[in-house]
């Protein structure tokens, strides 16, 4: 077929090497000719010298093609360089699978796109790693558009309006405040506990708050811009437990030594820790005192005892009494 240009052939050869070769899969010149016929038509023919020239040109353009010699001196060729290692692609797929704010359909679409970042042969090794749990996936298909909208607003320092809601016991999504619009100055998007959250200043109260992206509806970017106040996102997240808001206070907890790694994972290696005895240590930090913090502390049972503040100690006493009563009622 004389109507196939050299440039078309060159581009197709590059595509074939990217898709069909890697560290474990190679192509001979005959394989290349057969694949080109499969694409351009059975009557397409190309000289082997022309294929060698094409591969030389690709190498000179920094698209590396490796030549190996097989049995009886037969030559095999492969492209082995990849932008992502296989383990990196597995991590990306795991993140997509575990992300609660992405629907099951969107997850599968993203996974297929990620698999295209490597060769066909290597992508097959990713296949058995995929498990999608429908119970954790959001049914909302608007999340990706909401995320894009908010990214634009953050980059341009523009206010956003939206409705916010949650599910009731009948599993019906209901808007808060009869659908009243929230006006927020968006500061950052974060991924926490497998959910996406917006952190921003709620104009009505002039307070920094956070909102789950999958619970937002009718998000619009406003023309009005705002001046961003100094704000440390990492510090905000570190002081917020299970994404519950509350008044920031200094806290002091006596903790069993067996939980030292848990506490370092949660607060970082620079957290203020003082050894008490061979069995426990005292941890001091600032945190938002909230139901989220109370729930987190109750997870550790008798292995963690709050010393300060008194208000938090009282909350824990009340919750402990409720639990005791609930499980001891006849």
DSSP character at residue 27: B
List Cβ neighbours of 243 (8 Å cut-off, separation of 6 or more). Answer: 192, 193, 195, 197, 210, 212, 292
CA R_g for the chain: 29
Task: Give residue-wise pLDDT tens across range 139-168.
Answer: 666 787 888 889 889 989 999 999 999 988
Counting residues of the chain whose pLDDT is more than 90, the rounded percentage is: 55
Structure tokens at 166: 């949650």
Cβ–Cβ < 8 Å for 78, 65: yes
CA distance 151 to 147: 6
What is the separation, in whole angstroms, between the first and last Cα of the chain? 87
Task: Give residue-wise pLDDT tens across range 57-101.
Answer: 999 999 999 999 988 889 999 999 988 988 899 888 888 887 777
List Cβ neighbours of 23 (8 Å cut-off, separation of 6 or more). Answer: 78, 80
Helix or strand run (H / E) with residue 253:
strand 247-256
* pTM for the whole structure: 0.62
Percent helix, strand and coil across the chain, each rounded to 5?
A: 45, 25, 30
CB atoms within 10 A of CB 105: 11
Cβ–Cβ < 8 Å for 218, 163: yes
CA 72 to chain centre: 49
CA distance 24 to 21: 7
Task: Give residue-wise pLDDT tens across range 255-267.
Answer: 999 999 989 888 8
CA distance 182 to 178: 12
């Amino acid at each position: 077929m004389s109507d196939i240009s050299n440039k078309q052939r060159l581009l197709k050869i590059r595509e074939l090497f990217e898709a069909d070769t890697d560290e474990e899969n190679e192509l001979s010149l005959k394989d290349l000719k057969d694949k080109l016929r499969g694409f351009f038509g059975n009557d397409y023919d190309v000289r082997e010298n022309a294929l060698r020239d094409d591969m030389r040109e690709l190498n000179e353009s920094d698209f590396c093609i490796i030549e190996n010699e097989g049995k009886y001196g037969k030559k095999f060729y492969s492209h082995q360089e990849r932008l992502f290692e296989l383990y990196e692609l597995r991590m990306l797929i795991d993140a997509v699978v575990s992300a609660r704010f992405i629907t099951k359909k969107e997850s599968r679409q993203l996974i297929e796109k990620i698999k295209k970042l490597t060769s066909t042969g290597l992508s097959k090794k990713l296949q058995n790693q995929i498990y999608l749990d429908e119970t954790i996936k959001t049914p909302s298909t608007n999340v990706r558009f909401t995320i894009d909208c908010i990214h634009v607003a953050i980059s341009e320092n523009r206010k956003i309006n939206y409705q916010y809601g949650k599910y009731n016991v009948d599993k019906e999504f209901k808007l808060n405040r009869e659908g009243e619009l929230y006006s927020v100055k968006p500061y950052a998007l974060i991924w926490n506990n497998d959910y996406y959250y917006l952190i921003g200043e709620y104009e009505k109260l002039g307070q920094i708050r956070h909102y789950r992206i999958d619970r937002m509806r009718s998000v619009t970017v406003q023309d009005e811009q705002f001046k961003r106040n100094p704000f440390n996102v990492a510090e905000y997240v570190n002081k917020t437990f299970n994404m519950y808001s509350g008044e920031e206070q200094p806290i002091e907890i006596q903790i069993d030594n067996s939980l030292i790694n848990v506490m370092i994972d949660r607060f970082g290696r620079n957290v203020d820790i003082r050894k008490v005895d061979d069995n426990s240590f005292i941890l001091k930090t600032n945190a938002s005192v909230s139901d989220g913090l109370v729930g987190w502390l109750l997870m550790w049972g008798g292995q963690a005892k709050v010393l300060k503040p008194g208000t938090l100690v009282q909350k824990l006493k009340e919750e402990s009494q409720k639990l005791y009563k609930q499980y001891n009622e006849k």
